[in-house]
Amino acid sequence: MCGRMAVTLPMDAMAQLFAAAPANNLPDVPNFNVCPTTQVPVVTSDADGDRKLAAMRWGLIPKWYKKPNDGPLLINARAETVLEKPAFREAVQARRALVLCSGFFEWTKDADGGRDPWYITRRDGAPLALAALWQDWTPPDGDTALRTVAALTTGANSAMSAIHHRMPVIVEQSDWPLWLGEAGKGAAPLMRAAPEDTLEWHRVSRSVNSNRAAGPELIETWEPVEVTDT
């Protein structure tokens, strides 16, 4: 996890909130079913501390891949091992970013093995800023580089563990400068689970189990239909 998210806020509002200059390639919003390999909004900061909001492919492609599907789809990086993995260890030092979303989905299983989806958001209603790493990948034929990104995950806090044993690393606003490299080094302590009261969630329709599903009803609270005898 996380393997699916929703982005519902206008990109100009996101740019203003994160004090980032918007690029001209931002994804269309709202998107209530953002899937891996599609474009997601990402904030980066350059050497001068200037932030940019741009789109990146969700699924980091290591520079040694010959083609995008040359190995595992790296949509997430485990915070516990990110400094050891060849695909991530350089990026975590030099190319940190924030993936922006309104919420993300996780699944539990019912007694029959069916997958029940849950939509997870911040309790305070603010957008989620997920710790992430980015990598430019250039195909062997030398075409234009593709900018790709992976979100960091860590062990779930006690509250979140009721849904899943992992959760994305959530960066609070006060820590954005440190994670983006604007406030010096020492960002490793940020790669931790969020406090217990950060998130809330509700059951949503199984319609979102399909990566082709679309529409605001995907994040609405699902109510079971009672069957009565007639």
User: What amino acid occupies position 162?
Assistant: A
What CATH architecture is 5-218?
Alpha-Beta Complex (3.90)
pLDDT recorded at residue 227: 55
* Bridge partners (DSSP) listed for residue 41: 55
| Residues 166 and 155 sit within 8 Å (Cβ to Cβ) | yes
| Whole-structure pTM value | 0.95
Whether pLDDT at 208 is above 90: yes
pLDDT, tens digit, for every residue of 16-67? 999 999 999 999 999 999 999 999 999 999 999 999 999 999 999 999 999 9
pLDDT, tens digit, for every residue of 121-131? 999 999 999 99
Helix, strand, coil tally for the chain in percent (to 5):
15, 35, 50
Whether pLDDT at 88 is above 90: yes
Whether pLDDT at 200 is above 70: yes
